Amino acid sequence: MANARTAGAVVQVVPSGDPRATAASVEATAAATPEVVVGLGTVFGDAETLAWRTSTAATGTQLPGGGQLVLPGKTYVALYGNPSGPALGVLGEQDAPATIERAAAHAEPYRALTDSTVVPALEIIATVASAGAGDDGNYSAEAPVEQLRPLIDLAHEHGQYVVLDLQPGRTDFLTQAKRYEELLRLPNVGLALDPEWRLRPDQVHLRQIGQVDVAEVNQVVTWLADLTRANNLPQKVLILHQFQVRMIPGVNEVDQSRSELAVVVHVDGQGSQGAKQATWRTLHANAPNVAWWGWKNFYDEDVPMLTPEQTMQVEPRPAFVSYQ
């Protein structure tokens, strides 16, 4: 470092090797506007990795909670649903400004329960599983981008993260994800895949529980990671909803090599706490390679619904908690 300073270089200490990691490292990289970057130490990875991470940090864009990594170091507390109404979750029980306020209120009790940064969030069902085939025959009602954008912009103004949830019916997850590329180019927007509603060509909703092969999940991983890197975007969360092992066969093999994304398996079991804990243990044992986990609290279906204190006692501690 002394030699670097003598040569006129700006020295920035980044213990994690990732200049996206903290608010301070992002600010320092953006302020330096570097044309040439040298990583001193193997922690920075290869030259290509250091180059794109530095380019991203140099944008100066900060995620809710600071820095450009969604995980680790943060705990997300989200309202789940569709803004069209209350039938699909608490997110739709009030207008947009009240939704933002309610998300903040749900997150507040968690701040005293963890050393990580607590981030209020919204998980918006962008494509809703439908009883009818619809004009395109896919049994999924896709919300227009312009319908979702105002709530997403409002969340951004208030420092909240947004996840777009896909219930694709008879189409595939990648096809639906590409419909929302405009929104996924925003720095505070991630993606969730809901295999319960991924049907085969001869299936309909509520008669079968859907499933998706890990190969299709990895197609989304590749596309979303490439989109994130090409646009110098902060890391994005990719949530995989699951309450049965069969919903994502081979989920333990999901591609987690792309540091443009943080993959979270979100356990959606409902009912008695004994049953929910059994589902949690089973799914976790089935995917020991997955680093990040999510927990859902159901207002009407859980018996009883966990308090924030109880939720944060679940092991491993959830990185993403949602309320439906």
Q: What is the CATH number of the domain that holds 281?
A: 3.20.20
> How far apart (Å, rounded) are the C-alpha atoms in residues 43 and 102?
41
Clarify whether residues 243 and 95 are in a common domain: yes
Question: Position of tokens 């995917």?
Answer: 287
Clarify whether residues 167 and 43 are in a common domain: no
Clarify whether residues 48 and 103 are in a common domain: no
Clarify whether residues 34 and 80 are in a common domain: no
Clarify whether residues 99 and 170 are in a common domain: yes
Clarify whether residues 108 and 176 are in a common domain: yes
Residue 110 lies in a domain: yes
Q: What does the pLDDT profile of the chain (324 residues) look like in tens digits?
A: 889 899 988 899 998 999 999 999 999 999 998 889 999 989 999 999 999 999 999 999 999 999 999 999 999 999 999 999 898 899 999 999 999 999 999 999 999 999 999 999 999 999 999 989 998 989 999 999 999 999 999 999 999 999 999 999 999 999 999 999 999 999 999 999 999 999 988 888 878 799 999 999 999 999 999 999 999 999 999 999 999 999 999 999 999 999 999 999 999 989 999 999 999 999 999 999 999 999 999 999 999 999 999 999 999 999 999 999
Beta 140-142 vs 117-129: how paired, if at all? antiparallel
Domain end marker among 27, 57, 87 = 57
Question: What are the backbone dihedrals phi and psi of residue 161, each rounded to the nearest 5 degrees, phi first?
Answer: -90, 150
SS3 264: strand
Domain containing 172: what range? Answer: 74-323
Clarify whether residues 123 and 198 are in a common domain: yes
Residue 68 lies in a domain: no
Clarify whether residues 13 and 147 are in a common domain: no
Q: How many domains in the chain?
A: 2
- With beta carbons less than 8 A apart as the criterion, state whether 24 and 57 touch: no
Dihedral sign (CA 125, 129, 131, 135): positive
Using the 8-state DSSP alphabet, how is residue 155 labeled?
Answer: H
Residue 231 lies in a domain: yes
- With beta carbons less than 8 A apart as the criterion, state whether 166 and 220 touch: no
Clarify whether residues 162 and 269 are in a common domain: yes
Cβ within 8 Å of residue 173, ≥6 positions away: 166, 193, 198, 212, 216, 217, 219, 220
Residue 229 lies in a domain: yes
Residue 104 lies in a domain: yes
